[in-house]
Amino acid sequence: MKILVCISKTPDTTAKIAFVDNNTKFAADGVQWIINPYDEWYALVRAIELKEKDPATVIHLVNVGGADTEPIIRKALALGGDEAIRVNFDSQDSFSIASQIAAIAKDGAYDLILTGKETLDFNGASIGGMLAELLDIPFISLATKLDLNGTIATVSREIEGGEEVAEAALPLVVSCQKGMAEQRIPNMKGIMGARTKPLKVVEPVAADPLTAIVGFELPPAKAGVKLVSADQPEELVRLLHEEAKLF
């Protein structure tokens, strides 16, 4: 069994968001970068769990980004990846990124490709579907559970009002969300071993971007809190009606 886990770099959730270059780029100075939690906690950890059941399983990591992503790739290797591939390509276009991963996947002939359901910074949730289309293999999104029986995968996913259970033959692309696995942290053995695990850097394949970001906007600042005395319920009603427009 060969598993490919897609790893992306995102800002820590506590990072202060700002933009530069006429609000077209994220201001990266002073930001703490982490592995996208959906990629780490759910996709990667589930791959590790599958390997624990079948030690013959091989886990490869793939990242599309510059050299600045290598610290988070090393952390993913410390958690349990066997080796990593970094495509030396920086883009915000989902199709271009998916095209790079698809090229790696075709070359590696992977049985299972796992992604997080989305990244914390862009929330596009588009890579998994594009990747499956480029590879011409099935795709199951928003998975909360994944089990393998030979070459058949059984996947549970949340739907409106309940749960859906689907089966698909490998090879398969699955995007993972909360419920797929429990968060882990690297141990000292993993951290030391990650220093010598292979991290291969490859150049990108040709792929014309289909989208371009023309600008970002921060949400409007929150209004101040208005305190209403407990003996003035009519004032509270007025504020809810005239200012909050709740009724």
Peptide bond into 11 cis (omega under 30): no
Contact 69, 63 (CB under 8 A): yes
Rounded Cα distance between 167 and 149, Å, is: 10
What is the pLDDT at residue 75?
95
Is 135 exposed, middle or buried (CB count within 10 Å of its CB: 0-12, 13-18, 19+)? buried
Q: What is the value of pTM for the model shown?
A: 0.87
> Which is it for strands 83-88 and 112-116: parallel, antiparallel or unpaired?
unpaired
Report percent pLDDT > 90 for the chain: 69
pLDDT at 211: 92
Looking at residue 219, what is its pLDDT? 82
Give the domains, in start order, of the chain with CATH numbers: 2-219 (3.40.50.620)
Q: Report how far residue 229's alpha carbon sits from residue 99's, in angstroms, rounded to the nearest whole number.
A: 60
Query: 19-20 and 9-11 as β-strands: parallel, antiparallel, unpaired?
Result: unpaired
**Among candidates 190, 193, 199, 197, which has minimal Cα distance to 79?**
190
Both tokens assigned to 48:
């590790």
What is the pLDDT, as a whole number, of residue 67? 95
Residue found under tokens 């588009």: 126
For residue 226, what pLDDT is reported? 83
| pLDDT averages per 10-residue partition of the chain, 247 residues | 96 85 85 93 97 97 96 96 97 94 97 95 90 97 96 94 95 97 90 94 95 87 82 88 83
pLDDT tens digit sequence for 183-217: 899 889 999 999 999 999 999 999 999 998 899 88
